[in-house]
Amino acid sequence: MRSLSRIAAIFSKELAQLRRDRMTFGMVIMIPLIQLILFGYAINTNIRDIPVAVVDHSQTGLSRTLIQMVEATRVVKVTERLSSVQEAEDAIKSARVRAAFILPDDLAQRIARSPAVGLGTPASTDEETSRPVAQWVVDGSDTMIAGAIKALRSMPLSELFRQPPNRSTPTFEVALFFNPEQRTAINIVPGLVGIILTMTMIMFTSSAIVRESERGNMEMLINTPVRSMELMIGKIIPYIFIGLLQMAIILGLGHVLFNVPFGDRLFDLFIGTLLFIGASLSLGLVLSTIAKNQLQSMQMTVFVLLPSILLSGFMFPYEGMPVIAQYIAEVFPATHYMRMVRGFVLRDATLADLHYDVLWMCGFFVLGLLVAALRFKKRLD
């Protein structure tokens, strides 16, 4: 009985301590709630409204009808209309669109001869009847995006002529850029850089300030002339080198083991990674100034890491998320870096091509440092 009473006393003490620790109690409720919302609402493998560009060399009512038919599938959404194939390739490289729909100037003749609409004549040669109606140029670095657009390859066009469809020949030709073999490692390895850096950089600095208090070093810092901003910058510099080392290990082994290309944009990759490391470290510092102890800092780190990783586009396509989830994803540095690292490594993109993500990362880094420095007070309370 004495043993049970002692256990009951400890149990009561833990409950009272949990009630006083509002941060821990809040995480007990919020973490499963966030996961439920993310997996049930935000994450969707049925990809819809993929942003694509249209290059219409035909400029006829027939071409406009064909574009409307493709958009009616809800798989793609036309966001740009360009005048040349080169402009379309540049748009794919800069990640403004994920594919381009190219309609030739002899579109009417191709449709009339296409078996996809059941009007191919016996006199037509095999070469004529096998010509596709139009072409898709797709960013093949994301295998899920490429698979969704490849599903449109045999889309029947019988509605144009009210004829029974003939699926013996694909309606559209699909050209996969950057990853024609659709190897998963090509897409996973560069994205893994962003995931590993997100986890380690935020985790390293989220407990940087509270660790000083728990180790008794805060009294020493208070008596030194070091300023808040100087302390923040000094805290993150060692971890910048650690982050660059992690990037080199992942991409180096990825190249050796899985033949993932480096691309020719090593300087752009270095600058982009440097900005992302700085943004992630500054986010960790902000969390560290909010937390009261290291347990709370770890809880807040998990709370930030879950949506940051799941909404970044690493495992689930960004285009498959609802609009609200996309807006939330744009807040986190991992989403922008995921586009940057895949652009530098796989699509040979430059910093200028991805200027929106670069500017956003710079702004987040500076703002994070300022917030952390302003929140940090050189006093024990």
- In the chain, pLDDT over 90 holds for what percent of residues? 45
Query: 165-182 as b/e, with b when 16 or more CB fall inside 10 Å?
Result: bbeebbbbebebbbbeee
Per-residue pLDDT tens digits for 256-303: 999 988 778 899 999 999 999 999 999 999 998 888 888 888 888 988
Max mean pLDDT range (39-53, 312-326, 329-343) = 329-343
In CATH terms, the fold of domain 50-177 is abc type-2 transporter like fold (3.40.1710)
Average pLDDT, rounded, for the chain: 85
Burial of 323 (0-12, 13-18, 19+ CB in 10 A): exposed
Per-residue pLDDT tens digits for 87-113: 999 999 998 999 999 999 998 888 777
Per-residue pLDDT tens digits for 209-219: 787 777 766 66
> Of 314, 320, 362, 364, which Cα lies nearest the Cα of 339?
314
- Rounded distance between C-alpha atoms, residue 98 and residue 96, angstroms: 7
> Of 222, 202, 197, which Cα lies nearest the Cα of 372?
202
Domain limits of the chain? Answer: 50-177, 184-375
Residue 159 has pLDDT above 50, yes or no: yes
Distances in whole angstroms, Cα of residue 53 to Cα of each of 85, 97, 368: 10, 6, 36
Count CB neighbours of 194 within 10 A.
29
